[in-house]
Amino acid sequence: MVILMDYLQILGFGLIFVISAILLKKKSRAKLNEPPLVSYKFPIIGHTFDYYKDVQGFLAKCRDEYGEIFSLYMWGTVQTYVGKTTYSEVYKNHHTFDFNKAMEDIMPMHHFLNRPEGFLNDIDKYAREFMSDLDKFAERVQKNLNKSYNEFIGDGKVIRSPLKVIQQIISRPIAATIVGEELCNDNEILDSFANMTADLVPLLSFPPILNFIYPGLHQKFLIFKFKYFNNPIRTHRSIILSKIITVINKRINDKNRLRNSWKRPDDILQELTERFMIDENTVDIDSVADFIINFIFASVHTTSFIFTQCLYDYVNNPEYHEELLEEATSIYNKYKDTPYYTIDKIAEMDKLDNFIKETLRTNINATSMFRKTVSDFTFLSGYQVPKGRTIQTMTQHIHFDPKSYGPDPKKFNPYRHINSQSTRPERDYVAFGIGKTVCPGRFFAINEIKVAMHFMQLRYKIRSVSGNRVEPIVFAGFIFPNDEGLIFEKREDSVIQEF
């Protein structure tokens, strides 16, 4: 409702923009050989409604009629859609097809944080560097997952809104990795980890109706709203800031006092602190906080989505339980005298990896990996797109290609991935992206989901409250985990003696 009121106010401003846009009228430019623009009935609205009525069906129809590259008129602007073969030209020409520019349209993070453009671009470099040695985090992730399971599921429980609880479960091991052991038991900071992205999603997924008035108006509205009205990031940011200040100061003190005998904490907070050191005693804590916020955005929501989907896939496909449990039990018994699994031991969970990969493959959104061109571009086919064009990749077209996945590509079947790891991007598997912007957190995410599933199966029998299959919710071409409850029943015959 609040959003709607703001929208109505902005609508007034929008009209002024429209008029000035008409008056300013764009310079005419050389005509490009553009991909076919799918025909439409209504000006301005274009394909918007046909698209949202049935995204998958509509895109399939467009491909049948126009081939695998075409343009749609959406929310007042032309967007170009690429399919399973053309998309490789997009990810390979990453200088032209810009990832950060595209992100800015839907989530202008640097504006939300009052930072200059490009401030957060190093996040992928940091993620790659900080997560290059996962053994540093392995024990902490497992210990804190165990703690989460004990707290949220214990000896068994019916969980009504699994995604919410999974977000909380996942937040603890992620917090232990990002802000470290001092803070990962702090309930306030855990709440912020679990809630921050979820608090933003309703704002960010509100359809960009304002762009009908003036392209880019939606983004301006978001920035305006976050600057002057309620901004969920602001609340979480001040919690995070107040907590990390204490820890950073203590660490600096300890380091100066203990010198060589100081044990450097292995976590992302420490890495960032060292990057943003002003002098021996002072740190640019605001920058540390802003990058922590971005690490949370990149990690909590995605990991809990996939983990939740994976649990539903587990419930929906009981024919795999026996062999998965067999693998888990034999690995558990083999290493039960070691305190936790190192990364090479987690790598032995092959069947589980295949299973998770199939979850990642089948739960892909209709479109993702969007980009914005920073200059004109000519595809090998001869089609051209202008600078400033938004490009969408039809990721379901890639993941459900019968050439790669056989006559029944939508069927859940982990055997498709024998000898092929879930973290490895391939031309027909892009759950973590591919090319320059491939997800730098994918090894961390997969290791975490694997140990989470491992202990989940060993501890509990899982089924849905209704006893039926639980399908994901498809909305606007996006796939969201269902909200149906899950029953976790303690395995009396578990190899784990005590939880």
Ligand X SMILES: *[C@@H]1O[C@H](CO)[C@@H](O)[C@H](O)[C@H]1NC(C)=O
Binding site for ligand HEM (CB under 6 A): 99, 123-124, 127, 295, 298-299, 302-303, 306, 369, 431-433, 437, 439-441, 444-445
SS3 of the chain: CHHHHHHHHHHHHHHHHHHHHHHHCCCCCCCCCCCCECCCCCCCCCCHHHHHHCHHHHHHHHHHHHCCEEEEEECCEEEEEECCCCHHHHHHCCCCEEHHHHHHHHCCHHHHCCCCCCCCCCHHHHHHHHCCCCHHHHHHHHHHHHHHHHHHCCCEEEECCHHHHHHHHHHHHHHHHHCCCCCCCCHHHHHHHHHHHHHHHHHHCCCCHHHHCCCCHHHHHHHHHHHHCCCHHHHHHHHHHHHHHHHHHHHHHHHHHHHHHCCCCCCHHHHHHHHCEEECCEECHHHHHHHHHHHHHHHHHHHHHHHHHHHHHHHHCHHHHHHHHHHHHHHHHHCCCCCCCCHHHHCCCHHHHHHHHHHHHHCCCCCEEEEEECCCEECCCCCEECCCCEEEECHHHHHCCHHHHCCCCCCCCHHHHCCCCCCCCECCECCCCCHHHCCCCHHHHHHHHHHHHHHHHHHEEEEECCCCCCCCEEECCEEECCCCCEEEEECCCCCCCCC
**Residue 52 or 478 with smaller CB distance to ligand X:** 478
**Residue 105 or 124 with smaller CB distance to ligand HEM:** 124
Residues 462-481 within binding reach of ligand X (CB under 6 A) = 478-479
Q: Give which of ligand X, ligand HEM, none residue 14 binds (C-beta under 5 to 8 Å, depending on kind).
A: none
Q: Does 496 bind ligand X (CB under 6 A)?
A: yes
End-to-end CA distance of the chain: 45
**Residue 214 or 294 with smaller CB distance to ligand HEM:** 294
Q: Does 305 bind ligand X (CB under 6 A)?
A: yes
Cβ 127 to ligand HEM shortest distance, Å: 4
Cβ 16 to ligand X shortest distance, Å: 30
Q: Does 299 bind ligand X (CB under 6 A)?
A: no
Distances (CA, A) of 231 to 113, 180, 204, 222, 269: 10, 26, 12, 10, 24
Q: Give which of ligand HEM, ligand X, none residue 441 binds (C-beta under 5 to 8 Å, depending on kind).
A: ligand HEM
Q: Does 499 bind ligand X (CB under 6 A)?
A: yes
Residues 302, 393, 457, 464: which binds ligand X (CB under 6 A)? Answer: 302
Q: Give which of ligand HEM, ligand X, none residue 478 binds (C-beta under 5 to 8 Å, depending on kind).
A: ligand X
Cβ 387 to ligand X shortest distance, Å: 25
Q: Give which of ligand HEM, ligand X, none residue 99 binds (C-beta under 5 to 8 Å, depending on kind).
A: ligand HEM
Of 37-45, 47-55, 141-149, 243-251, which part binds ligand X (CB under 6 A)?
141-149
Distances (CA, A) of 400 to 423, 429, 481: 18, 10, 19
Q: Give which of ligand X, ligand HEM, none residue 192 binds (C-beta under 5 to 8 Å, depending on kind).
A: ligand X
Q: Does 437 bind ligand X (CB under 6 A)?
A: no
Size of the site for ligand X (CB under 6 A): 21
Q: Is 62 annotated as belonging to a binding site?
A: no
Q: Does 489 bind ligand X (CB under 6 A)?
A: no
Q: Tokens in use for 40?
A: 């439409």
Q: Give which of ligand HEM, ligand X, none residue 496 binds (C-beta under 5 to 8 Å, depending on kind).
A: ligand X
**Residue 57 or 118 with smaller CB distance to ligand HEM:** 118
Q: Does 146 bind ligand X (CB under 6 A)?
A: yes
Q: Does 373 bind ligand X (CB under 6 A)?
A: no
Cβ 29 to ligand HEM shortest distance, Å: 28
Residues 326-365 within binding reach of ligand X (CB under 6 A) = 339-340, 363, 365
Residues 6-65 within binding reach of ligand X (CB under 6 A) = none
Residue closest to 356 by CA, chosen among 366, 367, 346: 346
Of 53-61, 74-82, 142-150, 412-420, which part binds ligand X (CB under 6 A)?
142-150
Residues 89, 129, 139, 284: which binds ligand X (CB under 6 A)? Answer: 139
Q: Output the known binding site.
A: 439
Q: Output the known binding site for heme.
A: 439
Contact positions vs ligand X (CB under 6 A): 139, 142-143, 146, 164, 191-192, 195, 205, 301-302, 305, 339-340, 363, 365, 478-479, 496, 498-499
